[in-house]
Amino acid sequence: MLWKLLVEYLRPQRRLLIAVVVFQLAQSIASLYLPTLNADIIDEGVAKGDTGYILRVGSLMLFITLLQIACAVTAVYFGAKAAMGMGRDLRGAIFTRVGEFSEQEVTRFGAPSLITRSTNDVQQVQQLVLMSATLMVAAPMLSVGGVIMAVRQDAQLSWLIAVSVPVLLIGVGIIISRMVPLFRKMQVRIDTINRVLREQLAGIRVVRAFVREDLETARFAQANEDVTDTALRAGRLMALAFPVVMLVLNVSSVAVIWFGAFRIEDGSMQVGTLIAFLSYLLQILMSVMMATFMAVMIPRAAVSADRIGEVLETESSVRPPARPLAFSGAAAGRRGVGTGELEMRGVRFAYPGAQQPVLSNITFTARAGQTTAIIGSTGSGKTTLVNLMPRLFDATGGAVLMGGVDVRELHPDLLWGHIGLVPQRPYLFSGTVRSNLLYGKPDATEDELWGALATAQAQEFVREMEGGLDAPISQGGTNVSGGQRQRLAIARALVKRPELYIFDDSFSSLDTATDARLRQALKHDTSGATLVVIAQRVSSILDADQILVLDDGRIVGRGTHGELLETSETYREIVSSQLAAEEAA
């Protein structure tokens, strides 16, 4: 997977990579030429006392050194640019793929893991590319070129290279083989620490309300300790690799000097040649060490690449149709006739691996200009039913139709463009009131924004906020109350002016008076559209044209409020329990 990612996402950076190879080649040639010049100075200049020769060759060495530095800096620059570009494209690909996921895939991976994969894992692969451009490209050039130049200097000492390089590779290979499983475990444990931290930040009020700070501190400490322990074990192995490299390098240097001294003594080798041979041996071993350093990084990058590839290769269970249909009568700028009509025919839904379905044989029609309410006890399947309407999930049986067309035959963008969803947990993005409302309709006028706020009973408190429409909203809308957050989410859907409104228990944080005013305003403002209201409170759906009573994933009652009081025992139980609670209050 690592190779596949590198090939695919480095293709746009190929010009930069070619530049890296060219400048690294120039740097390597310069590095290989310098020891030979140094040997010439010692054997030809110093030995013969030729100062002019020393100055000429020394000046050439200085020029080549400056050229080598310039090539190295340029190669690192282009390499860094290629690595950053690849990281940008890879993060964009992950974000795009996750954006295509249905609720099912997002739940399977989990938000903390997806965040880790798009940040830490991408960084590991990006760092590998950067270090490869800096070290790995030059390493084979220096090692192969060093062997050739060393043999040219003295072939009889070359056996030392044949011994030291395999010893170095074997020693480091054993260490690296033990690091791979530790890196894999480390990435999983980073997921865990992100999950624990995310839970604690999101649930800080619950933690404090139940005085569980000590427990959560212990949970985080354990997750932190697990990451630290794995990192230390991997770090110890990594720290062991460099002493092994330095041991082989120093022993090899001593061996070259030892055996070279005998050759100098018998006149078969000059001092400059010995120094040049030693320089080439050091270059070869340093190249192997650089390759070793890269080999240490490759396992962790490979693990990260596998995790990234898992996301990129996961297909969404909700796929656009090959030949999407259009709503009959829909035209640019006009509502299609009956576009907002929602129909479910024998719908069944079961989560993957579940023994029992969550929904069974759900059949109803929500007509344009009418309000269809769905009520039921906790766990009856109301939210799952809501998720099927905008095709956040695909039904495992039956069909969901909008405007007479199966939602699976519509392009998701077309479907979502005709739906205004207010989720059970309203979410506001960091920015301003205006930016959150424009999320529903980017080209909405200020009058449209204030009109939607007025209908949602949010106009008054928005005017009181400093800045009005430009008042800041923090991430998740944590700087406004739950009721205000719900009303802003409702206003965001109203700005969109869709044909189908879905309110998933969207009035739960409103007081009775505000709830009544809001429902009255909605009747006027959404006339002609289809309204589907999921409710817990009976008082919110008394005027609904059709009420569906859901119990254990099945419709057990259907009709108006008055009709259900006469025909549905489950509905009567819900009404009586709420009335009893209100009387007790």
Rg (CA), the chain: 35
Is residue 272 a contact partner of residue 41, using CB atoms and an 8 Å limit? yes
HEC string for 258-323: HHHHHHHHCCCCCHHHHHHHHHHHHHHHHHHHHHHHHHHHHHHHHHHHHHHHHHHCCCCCCCCCCC
CB count in 10 Å sphere of residue 334: 9
Tell me the per-residue pLDDT of 1-49, one tens digit each, with 9 for 90 and over.
Answer: 788 888 888 888 889 989 998 998 898 888 888 888 888 888 777 766 7
pLDDT number for residue 581? 47
pLDDT number for residue 143? 83
The span from the CA of 82 to the CA of 10, in Å, is: 7
The span from the CA of 518 to the CA of 483, in Å, is: 12
Spacing of C-alpha 231 from chain mean position: 22
Amino acid at 3: W
The span from the CA of 99 to the CA of 469, in Å, is: 28
Beta bridge partners of 554: 551
- Tell me the domains of the chain and their CATH numbers: 9-312 (1.20.1560.10), 336-418+500-585 (3.40.50.300), 426-497 (3.40.50.300)
Q: What share of the chain is helix, strand, coil (3-state, %, to 5)?
A: 65, 10, 20
Is residue 189 a contact partner of residue 227, using CB atoms and an 8 Å limit? yes
The contacts of residue 270 (CB under 8 Å, 6+ apart) are 39, 42, 43, 47, 264
The span from the CA of 42 to the CA of 63, in Å, is: 18
The span from the CA of 572 to the CA of 168, in Å, is: 81
CB count in 10 Å sphere of residue 395: 22
The span from the CA of 65 to the CA of 70, in Å, is: 9
Nearest alpha carbon to residue 10 among 113, 142, 119, 137: 137
Beta bridge partners of 349: 359
pTM: 0.71
The span from the CA of 338 to the CA of 341, in Å, is: 5
The span from the CA of 75 to the CA of 208, in Å, is: 54
The secondary element (H helix, E strand) that includes residue 398 is strand 397-402
Phi and psi angles of residue 381, each rounded to the nearest 5 degrees, phi first: 105, 15
The span from the CA of 506 to the CA of 515, in Å, is: 10
pLDDT number for residue 334? 37
Tell me the per-residue pLDDT of 157-208, one tens digit each, with 9 for 90 and over.
Answer: 878 888 888 888 788 778 877 877 887 788 778 878 888 887 887 777 788 8
Per-residue pLDDT of the chain (585 residues; tens, 9 = 90+): 788 888 888 888 889 989 998 998 898 888 888 888 888 888 777 766 778 888 888 889 899 999 989 998 999 999 999 999 999 999 999 998 988 888 778 888 887 788 888 888 899 899 888 888 887 788 888 888 888 888 887 778 878 888 888 888 788 778 877 877 887 788 778 878 888 887 887 777 788 878 788 888 888 898 899 889 988 988 888 788 778 878 888 888 888 888 888 888 777 778 888 888 888 888 888 887 777 777 777 877 888 888 899 999 888 877 888 888 877 644 333 344 467 789 899 999 988 777 788 899 999 999 888 889 999 887 788 888 888 888 888 888 899 998 888 888 888 888 888 888 888 888 888 899 999 999 878 888 999 999 999 998 989 899 988 888 999 998 888 888 888 888 999 999 999 888 899 988 888 777 778 888 888 888 888 888 899 998 887 887 888 889 999 988 899 999 988 888 888 888 888 888 876 645 434
pLDDT number for residue 338? 62
- 41 CB-side CA count, 13 A: 19
Residue corresponding to tokens 């739906």: 419
Is residue 391 a contact partner of residue 383, using CB atoms and an 8 Å limit? no
| DSSP string for residues in 178-211 | HHHHHHHHHHHHHHHHHHHHHHHHHTHHHHHHTT
Phi and psi angles of residue 556, each rounded to the nearest 5 degrees, phi first: -110, 0
Spacing of C-alpha 58 from chain mean position: 54
Tell me the per-residue pLDDT of 63-97, one tens digit each, with 9 for 90 and over.
Answer: 999 998 999 899 999 999 999 999 999 999 999 89
The span from the CA of 463 to the CA of 503, in Å, is: 25
The span from the CA of 96 to the CA of 356, in Å, is: 33
Q: Where are the alpha helices (DSSP H) in 132-158?
A: 138-153
Burial 78-99 (b: 16+ CB within 10 A, else e): bbbbbbebbbebbbebbeebbe
Nearest alpha carbon to residue 532 among 511, 506, 509, 497: 506
The span from the CA of 263 to the CA of 274, in Å, is: 9
Return the DSSP state at 332.
T
- Assign residue 398 a region: left if phi > 0, alpha if psi is -120 to 50, beta otherwise? left
pLDDT number for residue 249? 80
pLDDT number for residue 211? 79
What are the CB-based long-range contacts (under 8 Å, 24+) for 574-578? 574/375, 574/376, 574/377, 574/538, 574/549, 575/538, 578/537, 578/538, 578/539
Q: What angle in degrees, to the nearest 10, is found between the helix axes of 159-202 and 213-265? A: 170
Is residue 485 a contact partner of residue 422, using CB atoms and an 8 Å limit? no
Is residue 372 classed as helix, strand or coil in its secondary structure? strand
Is residue 547 a contact partner of residue 558, using CB atoms and an 8 Å limit? yes
